[in-house]
Chains A and B, each alone.
Chain A
Amino acid sequence: MKINTSRFGEIEIDENLIFDFIEPILGYEHLSKYVLIDNMPDSPFKWLQSAEDVNIAFPVTFPGYFGLNYQFVIPEEETKKLGLSGIEDLLSMNIVCIPPGNPQAATINLLGPLVINAVNKKALQLVLINTNHTVKHKLFPGNAQENKEAEKVENKV
């Protein structure tokens, strides 16, 4: 089937690759169907695009790629809701927030990971409890201003 998107235009999608968020992405309770879009192979950033609202898409990524030591516990109840038969079917990713014009300040939401059963495509946004993970973990640590200065110096050299 074809879906319209504001960022990627009209795209052809395989109905079997539509995720069904059985618990919504918080703040988007009216949407449940999403597709994971790979617009640039080898990039650690992907897009979670709503199949129901052309404008809604989230940049997502994988903490491991950024060297983050990221672990969380998924409650048994949630694994039941997802119909998981084994942990190997569970995939997770995290939403990235990139402030316009300031990619250096990008953050990753480690408190609310998105978890997906890769077999039946059921998904949900977990809210972790009893954890030190934060909603806005810096993806590129270090002071943004300092990095800008360093860049300038490097350019001069």
Chain B
Amino acid sequence: MLVLTRKTGQKLILNDNIEIVILETRGDAVKIGIKAPKEVTIYREEIYEEIKKANKQASNNVLISDVDKALNLLENKKRPVDDYLSKFSAIITTPQKNKDLNK
């Protein structure tokens, strides 16, 4: 890791097109300004990590039966698919019931 010391108002240039400026320091807080091309995505690390963790939790060992149980909690589970869900019909895969699975 490259470690640099900067003073308030001083800048860093990354890759010719990203500019980072130290705007203000107050106690342990540092206010940073970033100028970057629109296609560069910038996340606060904790939000990125939070979503990553949630994704992992959602997919880890989740069973079809878990989803069925959640479905049972829905009051209107017999409600027909609404307009929005029907938009998905063109891009969704319906698995063919495979007899081999039951063997």
Contacts of B95 in A (CB 8 A): 8-9, 11-12, 37, 39
Interface residue? B5 (CB, 8 A): no
Contacts of A36 in B (CB 8 A): 88, 91-93
- Interchain CA distance A28-B77 in the complex, whole Å: 31
If A45-B71, A100-B66, A112-B51 touch, does A62 touch B85 (CB 8 Å cutoff)?
yes
Chain B nearest Cβ from A93, distance in angstroms: 8
Interface residue? A33 (CB, 8 A): no
Task: Establish whether residues B92 and A37, one from each chain, have CB atoms under 8 Å apart when the complex forms.
Answer: yes
Chain A nearest Cβ from B50, distance in angstroms: 5
Task: Establish whether residues A27 and B70, one from each chain, have CB atoms under 8 Å apart when the complex forms.
Answer: no
Which positions 63-103 of chain B face chain A at CB distance < 8 Å? 63-64, 66-74, 77-82, 84-85, 87-88, 90-96, 98, 100-101
- Interchain CA distance A40-B78 in the complex, whole Å: 12
- Interchain CA distance A132-B94 in the complex, whole Å: 35
Contacts of A116 in B (CB 8 A): 91
Contact of A95 among B50, B54, B66 (CB under 8 A): B54
Main secondary structure of the interface of B (DSSP, over half): helix
Contact with A along B11-33 (1 / 0, CB 8 A): 00000000000000000000000
Interface residue? B10 (CB, 8 A): no
Contact of A135 among B54, B64, B69, B93 (CB under 8 A): B54
Interface residue? A52 (CB, 8 A): no
Task: Establish whether residues A17 and B39, one from each chain, have CB atoms under 8 Å apart when the complex forms.
Answer: no
Number of B interface residues, CB 8 Å? Answer: 49
Chain B nearest Cβ from A139, distance in angstroms: 7
Chain A nearest Cβ from B16, distance in angstroms: 19
Contact with B along A88-122 (1 / 0, CB 8 A): 00010001111010011011010110001010010
If A10-B98, A77-B38, A118-B91 touch, does A139 touch B64 (CB 8 Å cutoff)?
no
Task: Establish whether residues B93 and A77, one from each chain, have CB atoms under 8 Å apart when the complex forms.
Answer: no
Task: Establish whether residues A57 and B55, one from each chain, have CB atoms under 8 Å apart when the complex forms.
Answer: no
Q: Which residues of A contact B (CB under 8 A)?
A: 7-14, 17, 19, 23, 25-28, 35-47, 56-59, 62, 64-65, 75-77, 81, 91, 95-98, 100, 103-104, 106-107, 109, 111-112, 116, 118, 121, 125, 127, 135-136, 139-140
16 pairs from A and B in contact (CB 8 Å cutoff): A19-B91, A37-B94, A38-B88, A40-B71, A42-B78, A42-B80, A43-B67, A58-B58, A65-B85, A97-B54, A98-B58, A104-B73, A106-B70, A106-B73, A116-B91, A127-B41
